[in-house]
Structure formats: structure tokens, C-alpha cells
Amino acid sequence: MPKLSVSDITTYNWTFEQDILNYPKHGIEGVGVFRDKLDNYGVDKGIALLEQSPLQVANLVGAGFFLSNPASTRAQIKYGIQDTLEAIELAQRLKTEVILMLTGTANTFFQTQATAEELVVTALKEVAPVARAAGVKLAIEPIHPKYDGFTFLRTIPQTMDIIERVGEENVGLMFDTYHLWETDDLIKNIAVAGDRIFSVHINDEEKDYAPGNDRTIMGRGIIPLSEILDAIADTGYDGFYDVEIMSGEIWAMDYHEVLAECRRSFDALMA
């Protein structure tokens, strides 16, 4: 059976404790953990809370960012590597198999695309064996161009090129329906990615774009989710489908209503 989780950024105004206590009440099986939210609550306290919960940690968000201001490129890459190593240790404690990673963005004045790619590949080659030994997968996420600053990766083929160059079996793709649904040859590229899809974010896009309110609950928007999710299922993917919604409109709602609707919408999509 497909497994539903909810990223704790979706219930932005709840505390980490409220997330962990309330998600199971709506039949949610997992939680996607943002490091900042866990840090604000307290890592040790949060892990203790999870140990008493039926929830599994679907993924840990917040690692990578190897590229930054060119004046501090070497320092930033060193920091990104160290931060990722710390995230791997945290993922072990959380008993999750997946860390979501963003590369950071190349500065095109100082760094060519090729240079940026090589820097990221080199950094991933350093952290991937550590993650593998810890039983952790590194899932690299391509992001829609409107969200500049997070990564220079925009499509599955671009991301798969990086993954193949790293050459480690535990380095793969984080698939987000919102960020990828408009990219060319999507269904074909999902099949090509195959078992390198390590985690999936599900959400929908509002019919009328509004900055800060363009993502919504599945079934409310314009993304052809059934076709996309069928293609992902055809790859043999059996991990969590993690609801990640960043939207002022959704953040202002009653979160019990949000979670109940997410559960209903997911079940309808997977029926």
C-alpha cells in the first residue's frame, strides 16, 4: 500500500510536538522533518517524542548547499560537506533512509555551469560513502526556476547527469510534483530515473498563480497528478509520498482540516 507522510513545513505554525501528536490522528503514516523545525523544538526531545509515536520519518530536509558567494566558495563547500555529514548522523538517529539535498546556486559571473557541476559532484563523492555506511540515501532535488537560489538543477535529466557522475548507488533523485510537472518529456524521464527516485513530494499548483500561494492540496489545482503518480508507481517506487505545501493560504487554515483533506485526496489518487 502507498504510504502517506506530511512534511512538517506544511503545518508551519504548529510546533514539532503538535505535528507528531496530531498527524497520526488523521491516518498519516510518516513525517518529513525540516531540520530547522526540529532544532527549534530540541533534537533530543524531538527524537524522544518520535520514539513514542507510530510515525516514521519519511525524509530529513536541509543539507547540501555546496555553492554560494564566489568569494567564499571554498569555505562554503567545506561548510556544506560538514553540514551534510552532521545531517547524516541526525538521519541515523531519526531512523530515516533519505536526506533531501539542494546544491545551492552557481554564480554565473565567477562560475561556469560546468565548474558548478564539478564542485557539486566532488562534494557528493566525499559525503556519499559516509551516507552509504550509515544506511542513508542522498536525494537531490531539482527546483522550478522561479525559486532561484536553491539549486541550478531544474529537470530530471540535469539531475540524473549529476547522479551518474557521482557514481554512488545511494545518490538519487527527490521528485516534487510542483517543481517538475511542467518539464519536458516528464513521463519518459520518470521511467529513465527509475529506481533512482528515492523520495516524492506531492502537492498541487493553484489555477491562478499568486506569489507565496501557488501550492495547494492535491486535487485543488491543475497538476495531472494521477498520470504522474502512475508513472512513478510503474518504476517500482515503494517509499513515502510526502505532502509538502508552502503556501500562506494553507498555513492560515485549520491544520486538522488540511490533514483530513490530504488523506482523502491521496486515497482518491491512489484508488
- pLDDT at res. 110: 57
pTM of the model: 0.95
pLDDT tens-digit readout, 87-100: 999 999 999 999 99
For the chain, the first-to-last Cα distance in angstroms comes to: 10
In sequence order, what are the beta bridge partners of 31?
6, 57
CB contact burial 42-57 (16+ within 10 A = b; e otherwise): eeeebeebbeeeebbb
C-alpha cell at 140: 537531490
Q: What is the pLDDT of residue 127?
A: 97
The tens digit of pLDDT for each residue in 244-269 reads 999 999 999 999 999 999 999 999 99
Return the CATH number at 234.
3.20.20.150
Q: Which domain range does residue 124 map to?
A: 3-270
Q: Please, is 107 exposed, middle or buried when counting C-beta atoms within 10 Å of its C-beta (0-12, 13-18, 19+)?
A: middle
- For the chain, the domain total comes to 1
- What pLDDT is stored for residue 160 in this prediction? 98
**Residue ranges of the chain whose pLDDT lies below 70:** 68-73, 106-111, 211-212
Q: How many residues does the chain have?
A: 271
Cα(192)–Cα(169) distance, integer angstroms: 15
Q: Which three cell numbers stand for residue 236?
A: 517500482
CB-based burial label for 176 (10 Å; 0-12, 13-18, 19+)? buried
What are the distances in angstroms from CA 218 to CA 54, 68, 204, 221?
24, 34, 5, 7
Helical (H) or strand (E) element with 137: strand 137-140
